[in-house]
Structure 1
Amino acid sequence: MDVLITGGAGTIGTAITDHLGDGEHSFTSLDVEEHPDPDVESVVADATDEEVVREQVAGADAVVHLARVQMEVGGTSDQSVVWSEEHLENLRLHASVYNAALETGLDTFVYASSNHAVGMYEKTNMPDIYYGANVEVDHTVQPRPDSMYGVEKVYGEGLGRLAAESSDLSVYALRICAVRDPEYDHPFGDAERGVDRGSFERDSDAYDEQVARLRCMWHSRRDCAQLIERCLDDDSVSFDVFYGVSDNRNRWFDIDHAREVLGYEPEDSADEWDEPPN
């Protein structure tokens, strides 16, 4: 299967190609940056260019849509309702990629949604939710975005449902949790990154809370790649929502649905780690 990854040179795109690059799928990365793996076909272009997107989608069997424009305001820690030109660009970008998929008769569309589409379940229960609070969020819950970023992701899911239910396109909306670059691909990753940036010390409450949160939210790079592969190989879904998270004991996001529908079987769990890697 020929797979186009928009935004393929980023953290999630490289997780896909790192772990699936030698398999049965061939990948093309469409990104403003060259893909770091020379064995991955790299199209250096802006995904907001509709003509480029349509040309690349036309040559693919499936799309994994990761690309978006970075926003100056309305990020995941900002709960204000604020408009920006970058937000508008993202709405246009997502619509144009879905439209290209429909116009070219694409079979499979994997949309990188986010846990922030339902992020208020976390916000209203933190910090207890990091320590095993009785909260479960599955594919049937109402969206509760925690930011304009989350609102954008809900919009992308809505586009996917419309596209799937008005055509033969199969759309998989993945509410991805915490995928990190290889250096920080472990449950202590966010805390160690904070130390590396000088934000706090290891022996601090801030460090401990970062560890507690990531023990719930961690989605290892290989588990992320596996989940996407399960979507690419599936032929049963019209539109559905799945959570991207590893098999962490204190996670509040459901993965049974992904297990039952897609055969997702995460290989990693935060509970296997007692300390960061040396």
Structure 2
Amino acid sequence: MTVLLTGAHGTVGTAVTANSEYDYVLLDRESAPNEFGDGTPHPHRDRATVVVDVGDGSAVEDLTRVMRDRDVDAVVHLAGDPSVAATYESVEVNNVRGTRNVLEAASIADVDTVVFASSNHVVGMYETEHAPELYGPDDDLVVTHECPIRPDSDYGASKAAGEAWCRLYAERAGIDCYALRIGSVREPGDDHPFGDAERAVERGECERGDDAYEEAVARMRCTWLSRRDCAALVDRCLDDGRGANGERTDTVAGGAFEIFYGISDNPHSWFDIERARERIGYDPVDSGAAMASPPE
């Protein structure tokens, strides 16, 4: 099966390619850098990249050509502005228009599956309302795929719009769309529940063991999605309804639309991953509760 990966060189894209069972056609707005921001060598630095800006005015034509030329069966769509602080102007082009362009090209090129990188910020106001108490073991809030969306930012609203476009193309074009409300994925050096807190220490924003540090750790214990669990969740979506040869075997008439939360096996999280376990067999191997202290 040929899978196109948009936004391939970002934090989530490299997590997917490093740990997935699939090989990908890499697509990004530019070629891969030599290294991550922390100096770690970038895994795509020697790999070919199809260069397309998904928010560009010619993106539908460019993407359709790539999908047809490469005989693409599925798209994992990660491209977009990933910042919660992104401006409306940025997310309107990169996230809303970009997602619609990818779906439109997939429809024209007869691609049957799109896995869309949505975000936990689609329902981020639940956290805003209940934090920091919900980071602890005594809070009983559970947010499922059936809860009303409550975006916490223009970024979160743009991802909610992307989910709406996915549902539209599922029902109008028959594409099976999987929206993953991804939690906290980090670069390789910070791929653990203490990653955000340790970075805050480096920036001088807190000290190890103080209240701000402990709150950052508590949050990551709830929202962390390890890089290998991230790839496994994407893989299970790509596997869904396919036979051994990769062809669809049970596509729902009119297209399927699914929402899954993307976190590791974090026991105190308010995000529900039971639907992903039951529906597609997602079985995370990492847990936000597994580490008692940061790695040395």
TM-score (norm 2): 0.86
Match of 2:23 in 1: 26
Distance 2:233 2:24 in 1: 16
Match of 1:255 in 2: 273
Of 194-203 and 109-118, deviating more is 194-203
Gaps of 5+ in 2: 33-42, 242-249
Contact 2:54 2:101 in 1 (8 A): no
Deviation at 1:33, TM superposition (A): 3.4
Kindly report the root-mean-square deviation, in angstroms, between the aligned alpha carbons of the 2 structures: 1.7
Of 184-193 and 89-98, deviating more is 89-98
Tell me, yes or no, if structure 1 residue 120 matches structure 2 residue 138.
Answer: no
Q: Which of 145, 148, 161 is the equivalent residue of 1:155?
A: 161
Deviation at 1:196, TM superposition (A): 1.8
Secondary structure (helix, strand or coil) at the match of 1:119 reads helix
Contact 1:69 1:89 in 2 (8 A): no
Partner amino acid, structure 2, of 1:113? S
Match of 1:62 in 2: 74
Partner amino acid, structure 2, of 1:14? T
Distance 1:41 1:171 in 2: 27
Deviation at 1:40, TM superposition (A): 4.4
Q: Which of 111, 114, 118 is the equivalent residue of 1:109?
A: 114
Of 40-49 and 260-269, deviating more is 40-49
Distance 1:193 1:125 in 2: 24
State how 1:101-250 maps to structure 2 within 5 Å. 101-132=106-137, 133-235=139-241, 238-250=256-268
Match of 1:266 in 2: 284
Secondary structure (helix, strand or coil) at the match of 1:187 reads coil
Q: 1:204 to 1:156 in 2, by over 3 A?
A: same
Deviation at 1:29, TM superposition (A): 1.4
Match of 2:293 in 1: 275
Of 42-51 and 224-233, deviating more is 42-51
Match of 1:53 in 2: 63
Q: 1:116 to 1:154 in 2, by over 3 A?
A: same
Deviation at 1:46, TM superposition (A): 1.9
Contact 1:15 1:224 in 2 (8 A): yes
Contact 1:30 1:47 in 2 (8 A): no
Deviation at 1:114, TM superposition (A): 0.2
Tell me, yes or no, if structure 1 residue 13 matches structure 2 residue 13.
Answer: yes
Of 44-53 and 258-267, deviating more is 44-53
Partner amino acid, structure 1, of 2:269? R
Secondary structure (helix, strand or coil) at the match of 1:93 reads helix
Distance 1:33 1:275 in 2: 37
Secondary structure (helix, strand or coil) at the match of 1:166 reads helix
Deviation at 1:85, TM superposition (A): 2.5
Partner amino acid, structure 2, of 1:183? G
Distance 1:39 1:3 in 2: 19
Deviation at 1:38, TM superposition (A): 5.3
Gaps of 5+ in 1: none
Contact 1:17 1:27 in 2 (8 A): yes
Q: Deviations over 1:52-78 (max 9, x none)?
A: 2222233311111111146xxxx5369
Distance 1:68 1:76 in 2: 12
Secondary structure (helix, strand or coil) at the match of 2:157 reads helix
Partner amino acid, structure 1, of 2:102? V
Deviation at 1:203, TM superposition (A): 3.0
Deviation at 1:177, TM superposition (A): 0.3
Same amino acid, percent of matched pairs: 49
Partner amino acid, structure 1, of 2:29? V
